[in-house]
Amino acid sequence: MIAALVLAGGGVAAWLLSDSGGDSENATAKPGPAAPTEPVKAQIKPPRAAPALKEAWTASVPPGDTLESKPLGMWHTGSSLYVGRGTGVQILDMADGRVVGSVAPPKQGMAVCGMTETPNGSGLGAIAWSTKVGAYNAACNQVSLVDTRQGGKVVWTTEFHGTKKDGSPFDTDETRLGFIGEDLLAVMTPNTVVALRTADRSQAWTWQNPTTQAGLWSNESFRTTPDRVVVSMSFGASVFRKNYSVAAIDAAGQPLWDVPTSVPAPEDGTVRLVSARPLTAVIEPSTLKDEQAAQLVVFDDTGKIARTIPLRGDFGKVESYGESMYGTLHAPAMHVRGNTMYALTEREIGQGLSPSQAIAFDLDTGTVRWVKPASQNRDSVLIDADEEGAYVLDVASRTASTLTRFAPDGTATQVSTVAQPKNPMGMGMQDIGRLENGHLVMFSGLASIGVTVYGPSTSTGPSTSTGPTAPTG
């Protein structure tokens, strides 16, 4: 595993993006700007990042957190930053990192086991909770709807369960959550997808996985859009091999295809969704079989596999690792926008480590559109992507890093320089990275790093926040 993509996800860090990625691809995932107080002639899109950034503040991991306290999500709501770990959800002041509140669990001692990637357009987010079952297991079966426009107030809480073959409840220790438009919250159980109405927590519908003689297929990952849910499933054909399929359900809970689409996977391999529109998934070989290359599967509108794109070639090997070191953030290290898939290549071990490269694939043809140098001499991390291109952070020197945007046609434009933080490890040892309103926000589960926000170099700082949590309600 090469260094650049170890940073991007190879057992050390994975990046969850603000515009898609994670579990939700809602076009209305973020609250819009406040209405202007006077007429304006034109709407000017704010820059993704300031031209020069430096460490504005850090917030350390709360006491009591361990490596088992998995990073589960991060919501940016303008003035606040919601940071979710296995132990709870803190609310930080975006200006200076002070802890200004927390989201109260339904019962004392409950842990966080899932979060929506972002709040929806109404400022509502969802958090799943679990209770301990024995010494090592947990049952993730409660979800709360949270209003970020009211300081993290819990609107409602309800239970959810999967279904065993005999009809009894079936729970695991984590879940996936995502919004279907503004009115429905989709919850992925071990073998169902449940849609809850945000207005009153009532159940709109439940979709159940296909049944075999030995039981139900198990859900692996899912993605939501304003009009559908896409879910990948597996069934253990043997000790070392699983069968994988992908299904799509519309906003009314009806299957969009007659039968789920089977996706072939190698022995010990996995299949994970990358995007829902267009629908793509990555077939990933066992990490012990480095000689095998991952593949990107592109589906057509009817659910059939349109093409399979090898992720190894003359360009090297694309990093496709889709899980953080803590096992919860199933965010592929590849990002799809329109008909383009952006990624980084692994740094090859030869005479020293070669620089990583940025690469773009045309999903309509399955061909490589371009390959560009992404690093001068050290490590690169693919942080974000939007309609203008992919944003890559090059950790190129001991004094500063460079944030570059690679456009769909391959044009490279420097967006920002990022001054080296107090803790240089913080540039790479991250689990979530986002570009938010001109700031670079990074979140790591490592106790020595926590949350780091890089703001415009004219801002005051850096400062460190370790203050107590303010009371909620």
Over the stretch 192-228, which tens digit does the pLDDT of each residue have?
999 999 999 999 999 998 876 666 688 988 999 999 9
- Estimate to the nearest angstrom the gap between the alpha carbon of 98 and the chain centroid: 25
Q: Is 83 inside any structural domain?
A: yes
- Tens digits of residue pLDDT in 49-60: 888 999 999 887
Strands 270-276 and 279-284: what pairing? Answer: antiparallel
Structure tokens at 156: 């409602």
**Is 189 inside a domain boundary?**
yes
- Residues 467, 282: Cα–Cα separation, whole Å: 42
Q: What is the pLDDT of residues 373-416, one digit of tens each?
A: 987 766 788 888 999 999 998 876 667 888 999 999 999 999 99
Q: How many percent of the chain have pLDDT more than 90?
A: 42
Q: Could you give the CA distance from residue 249 to residue 228 in angstroms, rounded to a whole number?
A: 6
Query: What is the enclosing helix (H) or strand (E) of 114?
Result: strand 111-115
Q: Helices (H) and strands (E) in the chain — how many of each?
A: 1, 41
> Which residues, in sequence order, are bridge partners of residue 229?
224, 249
β-bridge mates for residue 128, sequence order: 114, 143
Q: Please tell me whether the overall predicted TM-score, pTM, comes out greater than 0.75 for this model.
A: yes
- Residue 18 sits in a domain whose CATH number is 2.130.10.10
Alpha carbons 298 and 274: distance in angstroms, whole number: 10
CA–CA separation, 123 and 296 (whole Å): 34
| Residue corresponding to tokens 């106790």 | 447
Span 345-364, pLDDT tens digits: 887 655 456 678 999 999 99
For residue 468, give both structure tokens.
């107590």
Residues above pLDDT 70, as percent of the chain: 72
Separation of alpha carbons 186 and 261, rounded Å: 21
Query: pLDDT for 39-82, tens place per residue?
Result: 333 444 557 888 899 999 988 766 665 544 567 888 999 899 99
The pLDDT-based confidence of 472 (bands split at 50, 70, 90) is very low
* Residue 36 covered by a domain: no
**Edge-to-edge order in the sheet of strand 261-263:** 218-225, 228-236, 242-250, 261-263
Question: What are the angstrom distances between the C-alpha of 196 and each of 180, 249, 392?
Answer: 10, 14, 37
DSSP assignment of 122-158, as one string? TSEEEEEEEEEETTTEEEEEEEEEEEGGGTSEEEEEE
Helix, strand or coil, per DSSP, at residue 413: strand
| DSSP string of 174-206, one letter each residue | --EEEEETTTEEEEE-SSEEEEEETTT--EEEE
Tell me the pLDDT band of 423, cut-offs 50, 70 and 90: low
Residue 230 lies in a domain: yes
Question: Is a pLDDT exceeding 50 seen at residue 138?
Answer: yes
Name the residue with higher pLDDT: 383 or 320: 383
> How high is the pLDDT of residue 325?
39
Tens digit of each residue's pLDDT (9 = 90 or more) over 113-122: 899 989 999 9
Residue 236 clears pLDDT 80, i.e. is over it: no
Asked if residues 447 and 65 have their Cβ atoms less than 8 Å apart, the reply is yes
Residue 170 has a pLDDT of 84
Q: Enumerate the β-bridge partners of residue 192.
A: 208
- Positive/negative CA dihedral, 86, 91, 94, 98: negative
**Residue whose token pair is 């090059």:** 394
Q: Are 28 and 181 in contact (CB under 8 A)?
A: yes
Helix, strand, coil percentages, rounded to 5, for the chain: 5, 50, 50
pLDDT higher at 454 or 471: 454
In a domain, 26, yes or no: yes
* Number of domains comprising the chain: 1
Amino acid 473: pLDDT: 37
pLDDT at 66: 54
Least confident segment among 18-27, 135-144, 320-329: 18-27
Over the chain, what is the mean pLDDT? 79
pLDDT digits (tens, 9 = 90+) for 266-282: 888 889 899 999 999 99
The predicted pLDDT at position 7 comes to 31
Evaluate whether 443 touches 70 at the Cβ level (below 8 Å): no
Pairing of strands 316-317, 335-337: unpaired
Q: How far is CA 299 from CA 228, 308, 339, 367, in A?
A: 15, 9, 12, 15
Here the tokens at position 195 are: 């849609």
Residue range of the domain that includes 252: 3-31+46-465
d(CA 308, CA 363): 10
The better pLDDT of the pair 424, 438 is held by: 438
